[in-house]
Amino acid sequence: MNYNKEFDIPSNSFDFAKDLSFGHSGENFITEFYKSVIQGCAEVKTDRYRNGRMAVETQQNPKRKTDIFGHPIWENSGINVTKATWWIYTYSLGEAFIIVSVERLKRYIRHNCDIFNEHTKVMFAKNSDNPAKGFLIEPNGVMEMLYSVKYDKLED
């Protein structure tokens, strides 16, 4: 990972009241997040391969449907159709997961369209009766998505 000066803490910048207020903002954010999850606003995915990559499904071929020429009929799915607000990705079942807003994940994919496009999609569950296609985000990409200001929501 490259050094980023933006994340340095300026010397002599500690202000207890500001730091406490900032901490409370984080607690309030988690409280609101928890309420939204209770209301069913989360999409939960689980990594079975434990390789640090995040699989993001975009399309599926239910029951291996084909057109009259025998070509698979792909339907939008996953990130393309979710109504969820939050994308929760479990890396180590019962021990480690990350949470990112669906909108931030979509901004990350759109911003990196040179990496994530129709030509770079991979197949998931290729031999099942419900194969899917989507993107694999490498571990360094997952981390960048989480911390980079490039993917922050622009204020109106």
Tell me how many degrees the CA angle 43-133-88 measures, rounded to the nearest 5.
Answer: 20
Domain assignment of residue 98, yes or no: yes
Q: What is the pLDDT of residues 30-40, one digit of tens each?
A: 888 788 777 87
Both tokens of 138, joined, read 């490498």
Q: What's the structural domain count of the chain? A: 1
SS3 content of the chain, % helix, strand, coil (to 5): 35, 25, 40
Domain assignment of residue 29, yes or no: no
Helix (H, G, I), strand (E, B) or coil at 62: helix
Domain that holds residue 73: 42-151
Q: Mean pLDDT, to the nearest integer, of 145-149?
A: 96
Domain assignment of residue 94, yes or no: yes
Alpha helices in the chain (DSSP H): 16-38, 102-111, 139-147
Domain assignment of residue 102, yes or no: yes
Q: What is the pLDDT of residues 101-117, one digit of tens each?
A: 999 999 999 999 999 99
* 13 compared with 25, residue with greater pLDDT: 25
Q: Mean pLDDT, to the nearest integer, of 75-98?
A: 94
Q: What is the pTM of this model?
A: 0.80
Q: What is the pLDDT of residue 155?
A: 64
Half-sphere exposure (Cβ direction) of 36: Cα atoms closer than 13 Å: 18
Domain assignment of residue 129, yes or no: yes
d(CA 88, CA 99): 4
